[in-house]
Structures are given as C-alpha cells and as structure tokens.
A and B are shown apart, each in its own frame.
Chain A
Amino acid sequence: MTGEAREVDVLIVGAGPAGLAAGAELAAATAGRVEILEREQEAGGIPRHCHHGGFGGRLDRSAYAWASAAGSAYARRGTTGPDFARRGVAAAVAAGAALRTGVTVTGWAGPRTVETTGPAGLERITARAVILATGARERPRSARLIPGARPPGVYTTGELQQAVHLYGQRIGTTAVVVGDEPVGHAAVATLRAAGVHVVAMVTDRTAPALRLRSPRVPLLTGATVTGLTGRARLSGVALRHEDGRTTTLRCDTVVLTGDFVPDHELARRGEILLDPGTRGPAYDAAHRTSRPGVFAVGNLLHAVERAGYAAQEGRAVAVPVLHRLAGTEGPAGGGRRLVVDAPLRWIAPNMTGPDGARPPGDRFVLRTWRRLPRPLLVVSQDGRELHRQRLLSTAVPGRPFTLRADWVDHVDPDGTDVRITAL
C-alpha cells in the first residue's frame, strides 16, 4: 500500500455523538487541525437511524433510561435520533472541525498514525492525539450461539432500523423481538412503523429489566431462545420456558436486541489493552488508554449508554487532550486497574489515573449480570478496604448503577489491582 502521508493535531475516529462532541469541543478550543473521520457516507452514528425521540435532553444518572415506551411515543424528553445527529454534525462543523465521511480507518502504521481508505485514495495520518470513538454494535445471532437453520428474516435492531428508516425496505409480516431493554422497545416501534405485527417480546430474565411496556405486545419472561426454524424464510422461534416447557412462536422475522459489544477492532489491532468486563479499551477518568496519546470515548468504552452520555464524554475528553497537546499531561503509568468480582459485570472507567483524576459526576458506572437487591459494594486493594457503600435500590442487568469515587486518593499507586465486590 502506498498513500499520502499527512499530519494533524487531533484525529478522531468515528463521527457518532461521542466523536462529534469531542471534535466540536476541541475545535472550539483552537486545538489546531481537528479532523473527524467517519466510514459511513453520512455522519451522526447510531442516532441517524433511530427515528424515535429520547435523544439529548436532561441527563439523569440512570443514563440508560432513554425510552419510556408510553404508547409508540418515545420519551417526550429530548429530540429524535436523526435530529440529534444533525445537531451534532452542525456543531462540530461550525466549531471548525474537519469532518470527512466515507473514510475508513483500516489500521495503524505507528503509535499515533492510522491508515485510511476512502474514494480519494489511501492515506497515512499522524496525529499528536488520537481519539477513538468507534461505538458499539449488537451481537448478532451467530455470536449469541443461537442454533437452528439460517433463513433470511433475522435482524439486529441496527440493521432493522436502517432497513426501515434509511432504505424503506420490506421487512415481513409477523415478528418476535428478543430482549426487553429500551432498544428492544425501539425495535418494536420500528417494526410497527414498517407495518409488521409484533407477536411477542421475549427475555430470558425472570423479571423485566425496566418497567417499560410496549402496549399490546406480550412480554414473555424467563424464556430462552433455543433455535430458529425455516428454510427459504424464517418460520419460527423455538423457546424453552423456565418450567422446562418448550414452545415455538410462529413468525417470519426475529429481531435480536441489546447484548451490545464495543466495536473494539481498531483498538485491538493497535494492541491497546482491553478491559475484560467491558470489552472496550481499559481507560482512566481522563479517557486515556494504555497507549500514550490515544484516548477513547463513547460506547466503545461501555456498550451501551445514552447518546447524550456519549456526547458528554466526548466533551470531557477535550481537557486531557488539550493537556497532551500543551505538554502538561500528567505523567504516564501508575494507573491501577479496577476489577470487579462476579456477579458484577464491569466498571467504567476501569483504571485509576496517576493524578487522582475523578470520573464524570465523581462516580464510576457499573453493571451486573444478576439482579442485586440493595447490594453492599466493597472496594479493596491488597486486602485493604478502601470504601464500602450500600446501594439504596436494586441493581438490575442492562441498567447502570454508580459507585462514589471519593476513595480514589487512597489507592496505592504501587499496589495491585483494585477489586470491587458486591455483598
């Protein structure tokens, strides 16, 4: 491969809410040439095809509660996805960031040098700071190891929304939605907009994750998908219920929702350390990854939060990036990893900074695999307890809860990993 070699001050990979917000903030702070690369033909990220409300608006701590499915009217708060995307693009461009769409970052050619492909050719771009904002995707059927036949008619929410809202494609007549998180309700709304009858929503959880309801759609809890049937077209979804009963729901469409995984390919190709819980880059409160000068923001770090939260992280990364550009960044190294014990699933950020930097809102965000009524969270290092805190509510899978960060100063920078346990 040959290609043009260029240099910029800040290079941002991904023009979703996080990347666009970072670009807007840094360009406005006159950080030099700030360039955002987006592989899709249009910038905006996931919100481009979320034709429902619930984007932006006031940010509450339960960041994930983006959709209150009352009727088909999604959360009256905030705006629609495409609108949110347009605003993000306009803000970045108005601030002076260079936004280039249809350009894919395909790999690394140096610690802060990326290789790109676009219709205008190949490039090698070296930046003083790189921000990864590559987002997240839903796990497809294969990654969830759902057995059975492989007929057409199997979707993730992302593909469904694009098919309906961006391409106006025919979907089918009857559908089953797997998953009852907000994104599942968004899928129900999209299916209805496409004239598809939704037979049921199913979840293997015994209690619904959230008190959300899509009216007229039965919610089957404690039901595991055991297989898909059909040849030329999907004909049904086989389920096993908690009591061992098995049934098959007849349908020609199934949408597999939720179960997000960060799009961490570029991070891994750059040998950036990942957090085993989030599967995104390990990062500290200043959004620094294990590679100096490479920062990460948005759903890449913790699939998946609200768009507004991703944008907030994008704005927050500006300060540490400016420090980097000015040469006033805190010393590298010394960060301790934060590790969680099961049934806790992950914590973010998952490194402490050497300079005691605190996460946004002075809180860490956590997820759990299991329901935990009023858990006691204990933070320790080398057997030494740093903090304990009783949660007043129930922690449920698929929804974030938080841990205060005021113990960070007590972390021994020469000690081992910091453990978080739920009792």
Chain B
Amino acid sequence: MTVTLTTAGPLPPLDDAEGTYDVAVVGAGVVGAAVARELARHRLRTALIDASDDIGNATSKANTAILHTGFDAAPGSLEARLVREGRDLLAAYAAETGIPVERVGALLVAWDEDQLAALPGLRDKAERNGYHASRIIGADELRAREPHLGPGALGALDVPDESIICPWTTPLAFATQAVRAGVHLHLNCRVRDVTADADGHTLTTSRGPLRARYLVNAAGLHADEIDRLLGHDVFTVTPRRGQLVVFDKLARPLVGHILLPVPGPAGKGVLVAPTVFGNVLLGPTAEELDDKTATGSTADGIRLLREKGRRIVPGLLDEEVTAVYAGLRAATGQEDYRIQEYPGLRYVAVGGIRSTGLTASMAIGRHVIALLTAVGLDPGEPHDLPPLTMPNLGEAFPRPYRDAALIAGDPAYGTLVCHCEQVTLGEIRDALASTIPPHSPDGLRRRTRARGGRCQGFYCGAAVRALFEEERP
C-alpha cells in the first residue's frame, strides 16, 4: 500500500505519459469522500482534492449526525431514493468498519391538536417513502418512553429505525479506504479555475495545475461556483445556517430518542437528540444567509434554541453546555438534490446536498459512478476494497480505556490524556500516525474526541497540543 497524500507545495507530477488522472473529485466532504471511495473500487487513477487542510472540514463536520430513514422525504424525489438506499448502505458499512451507530429511534412529538392531527399524514408519507414501521402512539406511551419530556405533549409518531451516527468517523473511513486503495488525496488545494478541452479538464489550483479526463464537483457550498466555471448557470447555493448546542454527557439520561418536532411551514424545526458520544444535542436553527463562511453562533440563535429546548426537555437547561457550533446547509431553492451529468463535458455536478448528505453519501457515490459511466467513463469491473476497522469513538461500544486486554498489550491505552472524554495516549498516538493524520488540534479532536469534553482543555488542552506539535513541528 503506497499512500499519496500531499498537503503543501506544487502538486506532484503523475508518472504516466499524459500526467492525467482519470477522475478528479473536487471536495473531500462526506459526499466527495464517498464518491472517491466508490471510484477506488475500480482500476482508475483518481484524485480527491480539497481546499481545506483536512477531509470533512466544512458542512460535514457540523451537522446533527442522524442516520435518517427518509420517512419524511418528498416522495418520488432523487433525495428520497438516495437517502433510503444510502441509509441501508451506510448502516451496513458502519457495522463492517466500526463507525458508531445507535438505533435509538425517533419520536415526532405533537404539542398541540393541529400537530396531533398531522401525524396520520406523516405516517402515510412514510409509507409512500417505503418506510412501513412507523406508528402513532398516545400521550401515555409517549410519557412512559420519554419521562423527562416537558408538559403538554399529546402524542407522537414513532419511527423506530431513525439512528444516530458518528459524523467524523464516516468521511474519515471513506477517505482512508480510498487513499489506501490508491486514490491521491491533495489537501490545501483550492480549485480556482477549470478549462475544458476535448480530452478532459485542466484545473487551476492553489498548488498548480491538475489534469483529469473526468470531473466530479462535490464542492458543497461552493458547488455552484465550480459549476459556473464550467459554463453553467443552473443553481445558486445559499447557505442555510444551523446553530446547535451540545449538552454535557450527564444530560444523556434525560433523552432516550431523537425528539423531532412535527414539521410545519417553517421547515423541519428544532430537535433534541442523543449523540453517539453520549451527549445531547439541541438544534438546529434555520437561517438564510449570504455569507458562506458564517459558521459562527449568535446570541439570538442560542437564545432561541434554549427557549425551544426548555419546552421539549426542561431539565436539559440545567445541564452544562459542552459546545456550541453551527453548520451551513447547501440550499438551492429546490427541494431536491442537484445532481446532474453533462455528456459533452465528462462532468458530473453534485450540488444542493442539503440536510441529508451524511445519510445519502454512499448512495450518492454509487449514483455518481453510474452517471460518470453514462457520460463515457469506462470504470471496468469493481473489486472489493481491503477491509477497514476504524477506531471507536462511540460511547455505546468498547472504548480503549475500558479494555483490559488492550492495556495489558500496551500501557499507552491505559494512560488517560483527556479526562472528560477518557481519551488515551494510545489513541492520540494512533491518530497522529494514521493514514490520513490530522493537521490541526481540531482535526485530532474529530479523530479521538480529545479536548472535546466539558472542560474544553482546562485540564488537557496544553498536553494535547504538546502531543500534536511533537508529531508535526
């Protein structure tokens, strides 16, 4: 296994005659990484490039981390199909690779008569989406299953298969498997221009030119800009900010399910959900913005969330807050994905992957290969990728600090560095030496949880930074 991963300097020349990749994928979010992993199953020269210093460093790192059933998608849409397929693919892949998933189930809680009256319609919609396990439950059953729910809940739609998943391990698993199978990953590599000719595309990047016969645009919030460089003007991405509040692990016993609001005209609304790390999430807001970099939180956003949260699970508000963050959905004014192939151009645009892209990622990857084939690529027969096991970040699965055999073999797994998240020296060392190592303390946090807990570094911040800097001076 030779891994090609570059982060600085001019892009290395390819050793083939033309110096041309078969496929270049722009954007190493969860979608681009899934596409690259799918391409890695074929005998192709593939480049995965990203403007950031890490994979999954934009929208993919800041979502609500729910593995959707797709019960509430718009029936008949591409999104509905890819979410449904993607969910099954990702659930199976997670089981295989050790990505933490917990099937906690969702309850769409009705707080007034109108909402209660809307539940049968939602159940019917789920049926039309091919999801048949949902059922309506009454106030008593609801209260028995969620004893900490605020007063006044009248009933709920029970969706037992909604699950929670690790948002950080997922793109990392895709990208790791892709680069191990020969995909070249180029980070800190921003695409500035694209020129097309008869044989393919020349990308002008911040690290020099890159040639590819086929191009996949998975640039998330910037997919519209890349699309315009190819002469199209079909969609515009407007960022739709979602702010979220993460409560401490001590709040986890307050919430058993993903507690969804009944969707109204204002969109999906604010939910309360457990995370696989053992925290409780409150959010997101939905704010139309025009700044694609506005990932900050606001006083108004936090206030709104706390108001809603107090109604849903009052006890939550007495717990300590561990993190506040925001993600930007790629809204395009159309209630569906904007995935489009262009035969003359050897190009596939993967735009508008709105609020379900984590769930749908693997199905999007497959769909994109089919579209590339439709525009002329001959991918050849797919082969299986070597198996992969990811380090477990999930609280419901064995963590190294509790594993006597592991510690007996290597005491570094018994040496805790981050006390709040119980992250060991062994895990930090492994992450720093992994196939796609982190390039910042935040990247290390997404691979290990170190410094991501309630004290936010009061105890371990300096120690974690020292370990990080030791590795990359």
Contact = CB atoms under 8 A, between A and B. Distances in A.
A326 interface: no
Nearest to A115: B402
A147 interface: yes
A128 interface: no
A261 B320 contact: yes
B306 to A, nearest CB: 8
A138 B457 CA distance: 10
A319 to B, nearest CB: 31
Contacts of B77: none
Given A117-B407, A145-B302, A163 B324 contact: no
Contacts of A169: 462, 465-466, 469
Contacts of B323: 142
For chain B, the bracket of interface size reads 35 or more
Interface stretch (B151-159, B344-352, B411-419): B411-419
Interface in A196-250: 226-227, 231
Contacts of A226: 299
B97 interface: no
A49 B462 CA distance: 11
A102 B419 CA distance: 11
Nearest to B319: A143
Interface stretch (B32-40, B213-221, B289-297): B289-297
A166 B466 CA distance: 10
A141 interface: yes
A9 interface: no
B293 A142 contact: no
A137 to B, nearest CB: 4
A39 B416 contact: yes
Contacts of B401: 104, 106, 117
A162 B456 contact: no
B287 to A, nearest CB: 13
Best-surrounded residue of B299, B403, B420, B422 (most CB of chain A within 10 A): B299
A162 B463 contact: yes
A156 B407 contact: no
A265 interface: yes
Contacts of B461: 155, 159, 162-163
B419 to A, nearest CB: 6
Contact of B457 (A119, A122, A156): A156
Interface string B452-470: 0011111101110110010
Given A102-B416, A169-B469, 9 more contacts: A2-B404, A104-B416, A117-B416, A142-B321, A143-B321, A148-B296, A155-B457, A162-B462, A169-B466
29 contacts: A1-B402, A3-B404, A39-B419, A40-B459, A104-B401, A104-B419, A118-B415, A119-B411, A120-B411, A121-B404, A121-B414, A122-B404, A137-B458, A140-B457, A141-B456, A143-B321, A147-B296, A147-B302, A150-B296, A150-B325, A156-B455, A156-B456, A156-B457, A158-B458, A167-B465, A169-B465, A226-B299, A227-B298, A265-B420
